[in-house]
Structure 1
Amino acid sequence: MTESSTRESAVPAFRPHGGRGPFNAAFFHAMGPYLESALRPHKQRVYAGLTDDVVEIGPGVGANLPYLAEGSTLVAIEPNPYMHDRLRAAAARRRVHLDLRPAGAEQTGLPDGSVGTVISSLVLCSVHDPEAVLAEIRRILRPGGTFRFVEHVVAQDGTPTRAAQRALRRPWSWTFEGCSCERDLEGAVRAAGFGSVEVEHYRLHTPFLPFNPQIAGVARV
């Protein structure tokens, strides 16, 4: 067995849940406008000038489609089948060509150095192995390519938000299909070997306290 096949077999396959899957698809569809209103200034900055072919890790129900130009192509790496119908409908409304791939983000199946832009929002919190996902993103990006991200992160120690993250970690993770509100994703991106990383820290003011510390940024190969 080769090293790559050993690594691939170590990544557990995404297992859709008959209860949480439909719930999350409906939740993010219903909450999309509210979340988008809070995140829009940060997305507008990091998603400005997207190329006509974009790979998105975990697009869900299509919250980021408005940032793609009409007629562009989105390669959607989305393993959760309960998101697919809403994602297809949203892409059709936005007149974006959708290449939907029900793969895990650790193994996209795309060729080395084949893409110019990868985006993610609120998804590195829930992947099984964020370091493996970031390595995969680097692998598929061509020289000069960019990874553009908007993510929620662990709060500073000693803060009420950090205490809430600790207290709610298990029910939060169960409800949102493995989502962790305690990941140092800035550290993970900076350690992933990109040529440069720019990160903005900010805080949302929503009822979802563990979700409010956030980062947005651009990593370049």
Structure 2
Amino acid sequence: MDHDSTITTSPPTGFELHAGRGRFNAAFFRTMAPYLEWTLRWHKRRVFAGLPRAVVEIGSGVGANLRYLPTGGTLIAIEPNRYMHAELRASARRAGVRLDLRERLAEQTGLADHSVDTVISSLVLCSVKDPAAVLAEIRRILRPGGAFRFVEHVVARSGTPTRAAQRILRRPWAWTFEGCSCERDLEHFIRAAGFENVTTDRYRVHTPFLPFNTQIAGIARA
């Protein structure tokens, strides 16, 4: 079997219309990956500890989370931005992980019902068009008892400087980062999605990207 494969559907809406933005984000996350990984390392290590040999990732980007998969494992990567695919493939080869790359939106993974044990995401639910639909899709593909493991940035508490920055910057932030919303209460979405059990940890990171600094990490079990 080949080390990696790609399943391509019709180009996801938005990425072909704004090719320049897709290329910018691929370059940005490739450049910023070491910094972001350093910033989030403790939270990722805790939430992604002990991942199984086969994992589905929503929004794999340039492969920042491949390091948490066991060598020889398989990542089913749902990544609609084709400008990230070359770096994602290279990252998988370096990590010794087989890549099953699918150019699809997170709302429609194309995977069978109750077919996977683990789904992961980091810094992704902020940018999907319909987080409730994505979470419903994750529940659909997870086996009973399976886990959705996540690290995401979320809306800050009302009345804080971070919340004010999120409100002021929401439009340029969303345009630059492919629809990313810095004002989503993702903990609410996850808890309302119908998982059997949800544990979350709310925390703050310290970066120059103020709207990004309020975050949650956790595990939701089907």
TM category (shorter chain) comes to over 0.9
Letter in structure 1 aligned against 2:13: F
SS at match of 2:215: strand
Structure-1 residue corresponding to 2:192? 191
SS at match of 2:19: coil
Partner Cα separation in structure 2 for residue 109 and residue 22 of structure 1 = 25
For residues 9-20 of structure 1, the aligned pairs below 5 Å read 13-16=12-15, 17-20=18-21
Tell me how many residue pairs correspond in the alignment.
210
Cα deviation, residue 108, structure 1: 0.4
Cα deviation, residue 13, structure 1: 3.9
SS at match of 1:116: strand
Q: Deviations over 1:172-204 (max 9, x none)?
A: 000001000000000000000000000001000
Structure-1 residue corresponding to 2:204? 203
Partner Cα separation in structure 2 for residue 177 and residue 14 of structure 1 = 11
* 8 Å CA contact 1:14, 1:80 repeated in 2: no
Partner Cα separation in structure 1 for residue 106 and residue 126 of structure 2 = 12
* 8 Å CA contact 1:113, 1:140 repeated in 2: yes
Cα deviation, residue 103, structure 1: 0.6
Structure-1 residue corresponding to 2:4? none
Instruction: Please give the root-mean-square deviation of Cα atoms over the aligned residues, in Å.
Output: 0.9
* TM-score, length of structure 2 as denominator length: 0.93
Cα deviation, residue 167, structure 1: 0.3
For residues 61-140 of structure 1, the aligned pairs below 5 Å read 61-140=62-141
Q: Deviations over 1:116-138 (max 9, x none)?
A: 00000000000010000000000
* TM-score, length of structure 1 as denominator length: 0.94
Q: Which runs of 4+ in 1 moved over 4 A?
A: none
Partner Cα separation in structure 2 for residue 14 and residue 214 of structure 1 = 28
Structure-2 residue corresponding to 1:7? none
Structure-2 residue corresponding to 1:5? none
Could you list the runs of 5+ residues in structure 2 that have no partner in the other structure? Answer: 1-10
SS at match of 1:198: strand
Q: Deviations over 1:123-173 (max 9, x none)?
A: 000001000000000000001100000000000000010000000000000
SS at match of 1:183: coil
Q: Deviations over 1:78-97 (max 9, x none)?
A: 01101100000000110100
Letter in structure 2 aligned against 1:98: L
* 8 Å CA contact 1:74, 1:97 repeated in 2: yes
Partner Cα separation in structure 2 for residue 190 and residue 99 of structure 1 = 29
Partner Cα separation in structure 1 for residue 13 and residue 105 of structure 2 = 7
SS at match of 1:69: coil
Letter in structure 1 aligned against 2:45: Q
Letter in structure 2 aligned against 1:176: F
SS at match of 1:45: helix
Structure-1 residue corresponding to 2:165? 164
Partner Cα separation in structure 2 for residue 175 and residue 189 of structure 1 = 25
SS at match of 2:45: helix
* 8 Å CA contact 1:14, 1:79 repeated in 2: no
Could you list the runs of 5+ residues in structure 1 that have no partner in the other structure? Answer: 1-11
